[in-house]
Amino acid sequence: MHASAGRASQQGRSCARLQVERELPETAAMLRLSGLEMTDCMSEITGLGSDLSAGLRSTANIATMTEAGVRQGVQGVQVRAMHLQQSGRVVGIPDGCYLCKPALSEVLG
């Protein structure tokens, strides 16, 4: 009986080895494919991050240029108001000019 138990054990190991030898190449191929897919995914994420950074830089530049334009416009209004005041003309501030009011109030006192 001891010999038959040894043979059964030997056959079990052989069967397990054959099973592993059959499944190992397929499993390794799946792992390689998964690795390639993960690499592609990371590459796309990196590209999206770069696109997002460029978009944020562009938006910041537009905001800076807009602010500079508004400031320049307000300065122009201030200069025009001073000239009008110095010439003795009356300067009226329209009710809807929220950006101009503080600047003109400062110039006109």
Tell me the whole-structure pTM to 2 decimals. Answer: 0.47
Domain ranges of the chain: 2-108
Residues 22-49: tens digit of each pLDDT: 777 888 889 999 999 999 999 999 999 9
Instruction: Find the mean pLDDT for residues 80-108.
Output: 62
Q: Report which of residues 83 and 73 the model is more confident about.
A: 73
| Dihedral angle over CA of 67, 69, 75, 80, nearest 10 | -150
The residues near 91 (Cβ < 8 Å, ≥ 6 apart) are 81, 84, 85, 104, 108
C-beta atoms surrounding 90 within 10 Å: 6
The contacts of residue 9 (CB under 8 Å, 6+ apart) are none
